[in-house]
Chains A and B, each alone.
Chain A
Amino acid sequence: QQQVKQSPQSLIVQKGGISIINCAYENTAFDYFPWYQQFPGKGPALLIAIRPDVSEKKEGRFTISFNKSAKQFSLHIMDSQPGDSATYFCAATNTNAGKSTFGDGTTLTVKP
């Protein structure tokens, strides 16, 4: 049973373009939704996170949009750069239970 579904599996974007990655969850007990960036050979690094009491959060070029009723959230990367090329994971956390459930990841390639 996959509790967090992520799409697309891979994404190719031109430099300067917008990258959009989507996730959907099932468990309404989740109350914290982080996005992680992972480079080859490294562990995931927290990029940006949102709680369900807000519909959008922006930090620099990165924006999370959150739709509580649809149980969906997405990551938007504006002005995508080649250095953004990495694997991105969404996650959903039940902070009372103390553990996160991750999506299967999206491999982003930004072409110069």
Chain B
Amino acid sequence: GAGVSQSPRYKVAKRGQDVALRCDPISGHVSLFWYQQALGQGPEFLTYFQNEAQLDKSGLPSDRFFAERPEGSVSTLKIQRTQQEDSAVYLCASSSTGGREEKLFFGSGTQLSVL
């Protein structure tokens, strides 16, 4: 595709449910990032992949959050036992440069609402 694609666009979950958010980066992009954006705030870093290797997961808020990119392209962010404080927009971004975060291309995000 022409840009970064994220699905679903919206997700409503009951507290305690597990959710999986998908990101299709721009074809050929080496680096993939997940960010969390709370309402009225800037994106906050969650995790970073270079190809299939997860190089940094320091931003994941708890062990309920898990991300993978098994074949170095599509990535999935999984949140187990969702809590109300997990409600946010989850943004995926990709970059063609490995190891240097330049020219990030963001998707439109998945808006997660936990009831």
Identify the A interface with B (CB < 8 A): 4, 6, 32, 34, 36, 41-46, 49, 89, 91, 93, 95-105
Compute how far the CA of A57 lies from the CA of B105 in the bound complex, rounded to whole angstroms: 21
Compute how far the CA of A103 lies from the CA of B41 in the bound complex, rounded to whole angstroms: 8
Establish whether residues B42 and A99, one from each chain, have CB atoms under 8 Å apart when the complex forms.
no
**Which B residues, 15 to 54, have Cβ-Cβ distances below 8 Å to chain A?**
31, 33, 40-45, 48, 50
Compute how far the CA of A95 lies from the CA of B100 in the bound complex, rounded to whole angstroms: 5
Report A-chain residues with C-beta under 8 Å of the C-beta of B50.
98
Establish whether residues B101 and A100, one from each chain, have CB atoms under 8 Å apart when the complex forms.
yes
Report how many A-B pairs have Cβ atoms within 8 Å.
Answer: 65
Q: How far is the CB of A31 from chain B (nearest CB, A)?
A: 9
Establish whether residues A43 and B56, one from each chain, have CB atoms under 8 Å apart when the complex forms.
no
Identify the B interface with A (CB < 8 A): 4, 31, 33, 40-45, 48, 50, 55-56, 59, 91, 93, 99-109
Establish whether residues A49 and B102, one from each chain, have CB atoms under 8 Å apart when the complex forms.
yes
Compute how far the CA of A101 lies from the CA of B35 in the bound complex, rounded to whole angstroms: 10
Establish whether residues A43 and B102, one from each chain, have CB atoms under 8 Å apart when the complex forms.
no
Establish whether residues A89 and B43, one from each chain, have CB atoms under 8 Å apart when the complex forms.
yes
Compute how far the CA of A72 lies from the CA of B93 in the bound complex, rounded to whole angstroms: 26
Report A-chain residues with C-beta under 8 Å of the C-beta of B103.
46, 49
Q: What is the chain B residue whose CB lies nearest that of A95?
A: B100
